[in-house]
Chain A
């Protein structure tokens, strides 16, 4: 790099690079608080939809955190005009939608460091929150940080659909985030999200109903203030 600007984290992870046109940060597009999930129970997740103006399903990232002080499990399914939060607890959720900074408006504050690439595109906007990673989990694990500021990535992956012979029935399991009551820890793991798995009437139906994928999912945990 002959000129320009680079910034690195304390342990050397690249944060900003004016000379790398592919190093496009995610920064805040919108934030808010969802309506409350209703009718949810342990192992029986229910949903609440959130509509986001200007949401783009080809680039936007969603991050959520439950409000309140209960232990909460949740996951997110992206949609075309926003996203849907699924949870085992009837709470509202703080949410952030992050976009590529190149898709956001230019800074207007008039102060701070604004970073441009060679094409003149803003590659860092000092006016709006960057997607500040506090941890990455692949498979089961947890990230802790003092305070109530941890958000989980809106991602979804089925783990297992099981089948049982009638009158029993299987369940649906998926990768979910689990916030502790203090909101200073987010775990990631497999949980039963629905009691409505396959109810088979024959042995062959058991085979037809079964799905399992034991590969690990990956999530990102962000730090962000309350919206």
Chain B
């Protein structure tokens, strides 16, 4: 730990002059770099007898943020641990009608925050983790994965580049944002303070359901074409037409039920939107999704408008087929 001395001299009434002597930069770009535990000691000299104060202690750099009233003896302030490397603080000494400002900053090695983007992830139902890759980072930077925010709980850490399996995932059917921060430990010359880098999302897919074929047996119908290909077999279920529906969701509708001619199982959007992003805006008012239960087809959208736009109608054309089960 280093100690730096600052002496402020002022003399005369008013005073007639004031001078900052010792440590401190004269501009933010020339700020004196300090490390955690370093101290800076301040005292006054000269004949000026009025109030003599140093203000501007920011707790982003110092352990105390209160002003310091100078005396003729040194009084010290200590640099906090965990400050963000590069954070600059301006201290101003004021004596009567005179003042001077000097700059100090959190020193140390800065984390490399220029890692490659991490794509959003979709995980199969039942997963318990997700994997990401840190690329184009630096080996001395510790990359933390956090939940909730850039200051949230750390759920995974990796030094430098490479793969990282994070044993954290949202519950089935939900998404969660993860936040990546970077820091350099004191052992590597850093402040160990975390800096924000980027976020990504993980979606845990809903439970799926798989139904097999028409079963196995030794009786039933098997039809062969002339070339020997099986046209229909006892182990098959068959696709049956249910209905074709077309219409429009009104400007106020985000959901609509349509009664089908017969029960349906699977729905095919016959005119899905092919340009889902226009001018940087997801066309969510045009992106439709469906569910079918018996003869009720439910058509839904997440919004009646794109971001900031007015409500719009949404035409639809859906083909519904039926998968007969026993």
A173-B120, A209-B307 given; A168·B198 CB < 8 A = yes
A117 within 8 A of B: no
B165 within 8 A of A: no
Residues facing B in A208-222 (CB within 8 A) are 208-216, 218-220, 222
Report chain B residues within 8 Å CB of A189: 122, 124, 205
A134 and B173 contact, CB distance less than 8 A: no
A173 and B122 contact, CB distance less than 8 A: yes
B210 and A7 contact, CB distance less than 8 A: no
**What's the least CB distance linking B311 to chain A, in Å?**
15
B282 and A155 contact, CB distance less than 8 A: no
Taking CB as reference atom, which chain B residue is nearest A189?
Answer: B124
Report chain A residues within 8 Å CB of B217: 9-11
**What's the least CB distance linking B190 to chain A, in Å?**
25
**What's the least CB distance linking A121 to chain B, in Å?**
12
Q: Tell me which of B208, B221, B274, B319 has the highest count of chain A C-beta atoms within 10 A of its own C-beta.
A: B208
B230 and A161 contact, CB distance less than 8 A: no
Q: How large is the interface on B (under 10, 10 to 19, 20 to 34, 35 or more residues)?
A: 35 or more
**What's the least CB distance linking A189 to chain B, in Å?**
6
Report chain B residues within 8 Å CB of A136: 210-211, 265-266, 323
A9-B234, A11-B217, A133-B213 given; A208·B269 CB < 8 A = no
B270 and A200 contact, CB distance less than 8 A: no
Interface residues of B (CB under 8 A from A): 117, 119-120, 122, 124-125, 173-175, 198, 201, 203, 205-217, 219-221, 223, 225-226, 229-241, 244, 261-262, 265-274, 276-277, 280-282, 284, 287, 289, 291, 300, 302, 306-308, 317, 319, 321, 323-326
The 8 A-B residue pairs with the shortest CB-CB distance in the complex, in nearest-first order: A208-B307, A9-B214, A11-B215, A139-B208, A10-B217, A12-B326, A10-B215, A131-B239
